[in-house]
Amino acid sequence: MCISWWCAGVGKSCLLLQFTDKRFQPVHDLTIGVEFGARMITIDGKQIKLQIWDTAGQESFRSITRSYYRGAAGALLVYDITRRDTFNHLTTWLEDARQHSNSNMVIMLIGNKSDLEARREVKKEEGEAFAREHGLIFMETSAKTAANVEEAFINTAKEIYQKIQDGVFDINNEANGIKIGPQHSPASQSMPSGGGGGSQGGNCC
C-alpha cells in the first residue's frame, strides 16, 4: 500500500508514523525517495501484514516513487484540507495513478489535518463529492490527534481483503502487491502488502 500525493508536506509521513508507531511527530525528516512502514493488523480473524510505502512528495522523486506504485494493492491519496492547491489536482493525480498502477488498486482519498478546522480551505463535502464521483473511499484524518488514522488504513486493507475474497486480485501474482504468508514471515495467513515486485515487476512500463 502506498501513500501518495504530489505535494510535499501534506502529512503523509506523519500519517504513517501515527499508524505504525501511534505517535505524532510534528517535525519529521522530509522524505527522500521512498520510506517504509509496516504493521500487523487482523481482519476477519486473519493476521495481515500491511507494508506501506511512504513516497516523497516532490516531483523530482517521481520517477523513483512511481516505480513503487506498480506493485501496490492499495493507495492512500492524501491532501491537506488547509491547502486548496493540494486538493485541486486530485483528478490529474488519479488519472496518473490509475494509468500507472494495477487497475484494481484500492484507492482511499484522505483529507488530512482535520484538527486544523480553523484553517480549513477544503470542505468535507467537496472531498466526499470527489470520492463519490471517482469511486474512492473517503475519510478525513488527523495525524496529530490520530482521528480516523487507524480506520483509514484498516478500511483500505479491508477493501483489499474483500477484493481478494472476491477473486479480483490474483494472489499468486506478486505484481498485485499481495503475498501469501508465511514462507518467510511471521505467522500470517494472508498478507496484502505494499508494493510487491518493486521496480522490477511487471512489464516495466
- By the criterion CB under 8 A, which residues form the site for another protein? 6, 8-9, 27-38, 51, 53, 56-64, 66-67, 85, 88-89, 92-93, 95-96, 99-100, 179, 183-184, 193-195, 197-201, 203-205
Q: What is the smallest separation between the CB atom of 73 and another protein, expressed in angstroms?
A: 12
- Cell numbers that stand for 135 in this block: 469511486
Q: 11 vs 35, 43, 76, 190, CA distance in Å? A: 13, 26, 12, 29
- Cell numbers that stand for 21 in this block: 508507531
Q: What is the smallest separation between the CB atom of 38 and another protein, expressed in angstroms?
A: 6
Closest to another protein by CB, 61 or 128:
61
Closest to another protein by CB, 97 or 110:
97
Q: What is the smallest separation between the CB atom of 116 and another protein, expressed in angstroms?
A: 15
Q: What is the CA radius of gyration of the chain?
A: 16
Pairing of strands 106-112, 74-80: parallel
The values of phi and psi at residue 37, to 5°, are: -150, 155
Closest to another protein by CB, 117 or 198:
198
